[in-house]
Structure 1
Amino acid sequence: MLIFVLQTLAEILAGGTSLTSTKQIDFGHPIDRREEATEPILNVYVYDLRESKQLQHSGRQFERNKTGSMQTANVSWPPTWIDVSLLLTAWDKTTLGEHHLLAEALTILLRHRSLREEFLVPELRGHGNLSMTVAIEPAIEISSLWSALTIPLRAALFLTVTVPFEAQTVPKSLVWDRIVSIRNKCLPGSDVMTITKRVAIAGIVKNAVTNLPLTDTTISVVGTEITALSSEEGLFFIEDLHFGNYVVRIDCPNYLPQTVNFLVESQTYVIKEVLLTPV
């Protein structure tokens, strides 16, 4: 979002001032550049981000999709509107040159008043014109701003652009069918066991000393009421979880409990081996 706002402002400023290209617009910290400047420079610095109190929408859209064995429920929210506060300063070999460049920037920005959609980069289009205010004082206390920047007070413009921030549509739940085939290596000659599960988390619990599987071990997803028990082969499965990171607690009588992190982020999963130490 920020880079698109800066890109739009750079194109407008470079096209309406005596600057010859956007390469003369700097977005770094506005330190003193007068001695190092070989050509006029405009500095556009983002110093504050906050949710706009003037422009917000509410509501959400819910869409459920099913593709083969995978089911997803997509929840998409309207954009959150963010006030982006920017400090605009000019640097040149002389103070007169800086004032001239700053006056040009003020003229072109006041001419626009708002960022019209046709001037926006493609990533910011689709929401109409974007609100923009140009002021000689910032949204926060001016002396605090310059003190925080650790540079002397100088002539500057203060811009606030209200832009939409859209979070990507996130699948809120995910289930998938997977065929799990495993042979108990501890029992020679045992048959291959095939299980079909809608697996999000899978693991096998073993004795850390004997390496034998532990049955009836309680597996709990921390922060939820979801639990499972390990099978005779020490296997456990947790199904139908949302994407995200989960902490799973493993409890077995006469063994020290253990917590394990599981990341659910795709249709693939890894069977984790958990070794519990006898008390």
Structure 2
Amino acid sequence: MIHEVDEALRLLLAEGGIVDGGVDLVFDAPTKDWSARRNAPTVSVFLYDIREDAGRRQSGSAAEYDEAGAVVARRSPPRWFELTYLVTAWTNRPQDEHRLLSQVLRCLAHSDVLPREMLTGSLAELGLPVGLALGSPGPDGPSASDVWSALGGELKAAVELRVSAPLAGERSAVGPPVTEGLVLRAGQERNGSRVAGGPDGAGGVLGPGAAGSAETEDALEPVGPDGPARERPGRRLRYAEATDPGADGFTAERDRPLPPGRRRRGGTVR
């Protein structure tokens, strides 16, 4: 993600005319040795601080869909980070440096977000706004004097640029969608074996694992009184090896025999 922000800033400054007239645009640290080696007007965009914006952290996951509308993956929410850059101009005269910094300010202050056409990679894929702000990273961040002391150079005019960018969450693939129906097998258990039930109460012993097996059946509908059946889209739930439940289905009221030694309420005692 960081290199994608670098590329977007390079495109933004180049579009603003910063690199016109032989000005170099680099992302190097402006150390004393580096400044002694340069031989052309240069704008340095140095990243020196990276902090997570914990207030924007989210939980859960978001689904990704294919062209048919099926879920193909799930992705955790992005985490937001604030990148702070030190932008400096390097020429032989302070007046030229100030002129370059003025161009940089005009270019960066023109928008609060990076233009979408300049986003690449994961930033373009997420489609989220990447914010821009000018100023220091806040009281918790290093001061300008601390940065220059760490670089081994002398304090000079600079623009501090803060970029709020998302880091894409982890993507995990999901299994194929369920398109097959199930068959519920009904029967009785005798001597540890399941017996398939039938209309006459007779049945055969099912093999090992058969009690937990599942089957599918195409959903068919007739065409006309004597016409052939045609398949309807999708599948239907079918109950195998079960007696006909009747017009009321499996929710109809049925007589339930009492356990041995129990009598119905209000009945005579035998």
TM-score, normalisation: structure 2: 0.53
Q: Percent identity?
A: 28
Judging changes above 3 Å, is the alpha-carbon distance between structure 1 residues 62 and 16 closer, same or farther for their aligned structure 2 residues? closer
- Structure-1 residue corresponding to 2:152: 150
**What displacement does 1:160 show?**
1.0
Judging changes above 3 Å, is the alpha-carbon distance between structure 1 residues 54 and 17 closer, same or farther for their aligned structure 2 residues? farther
Which whole-Å CA distance do the structure 2 matches of 1:37 and 1:127 have between them? 38
**What displacement does 1:109 show?**
0.3
- Structure-2 residue corresponding to 1:79: 78
Judging changes above 3 Å, is the alpha-carbon distance between structure 1 residues 138 and 162 closer, same or farther for their aligned structure 2 residues? closer
Are 1:99 and 2:128 counterparts? no
**What displacement does 1:168 show?**
3.8
Residues 149-196 of structure 1 show CA distances to partners (whole Å, capped at 9, x for unaligned) of 222111111111111111442579xxxxxxxxxxxxxxxxxxxxxxxx
Select the structure with the greater relative contact order (CA < 8 A; seq sep ≥ 6): 2
Which whole-Å CA distance do the structure 2 matches of 1:151 and 1:83 have between them? 25
Alpha-carbon contact 2:63-2:75 (below 8 Å) kept:
yes
Q: Give the number of the structure whose residues are more often helix, by fraction.
A: 2
**What displacement does 1:61 show?**
4.4
Alpha-carbon contact 2:83-2:162 (below 8 Å) kept:
yes
After TM superposition, list the pairs within 5 Å mapping 1:251-266 onto structure 2. Answer: none
**What displacement does 1:141 show?**
3.8
Structure 2: segments with no counterpart, 5+ residues: 65-71, 175-270
Residues 213-250 of structure 1 show CA distances to partners (whole Å, capped at 9, x for unaligned) of xxxxxxxxxxxxxxxxxxxxxxxxxxxxxxxxxxxxxx
Instruction: Specify the SS of the correspondent of 2:128.
Output: coil
TM-score, normalisation: structure 1: 0.51
The count of corresponding residues between Structure 1 and Structure 2 is 163
- Structure-2 residue corresponding to 1:46: 47
Which whole-Å CA distance do the structure 2 matches of 1:99 and 1:23 have between them? 14
Which whole-Å CA distance do the structure 2 matches of 1:22 and 1:50 have between them? 34
Which whole-Å CA distance do the structure 2 matches of 1:14 and 1:54 have between them? 33
Instruction: Specify the SS of the correspondent of 2:37.
Output: coil
- Structure-2 residue corresponding to 1:9: 9
- Structure-1 residue corresponding to 2:30: 30
Alpha-carbon contact 1:34-1:92 (below 8 Å) kept:
no
Residues 196-216 of structure 1 show CA distances to partners (whole Å, capped at 9, x for unaligned) of xxxxxxxxxxxxxxxxxxxxx
**What displacement does 1:35 show?**
4.5
Which whole-Å CA distance do the structure 2 matches of 1:77 and 1:49 have between them? 21
Which whole-Å CA distance do the structure 2 matches of 1:93 and 1:132 have between them? 30
Per mean C-alpha deviation after superposition, the further-off stretch among 16-25 and 141-150 is: 16-25
Which whole-Å CA distance do the structure 2 matches of 1:78 and 1:21 have between them? 43
Structure 1: segments with no counterpart, 5+ residues: 64-72, 173-279
Which whole-Å CA distance do the structure 2 matches of 1:166 and 1:40 have between them? 36
Which whole-Å CA distance do the structure 2 matches of 1:20 and 1:122 have between them? 27
After TM superposition, list the pairs within 5 Å mapping 1:1-279 onto structure 2. Answer: 1-20=1-20, 24-32=24-32, 33-61=34-62, 76-125=75-124, 126-135=126-135, 137-139=136-138, 140-142=141-143, 143-170=145-172
Which whole-Å CA distance do the structure 2 matches of 1:44 and 1:27 have between them? 5
Residues 44-77 of structure 1 show CA distances to partners (whole Å, capped at 9, x for unaligned) of 11111111145333212479xxxxxxxxx96631
Q: Give the number of the structure whose residues are more often strand, by fraction.
A: 1
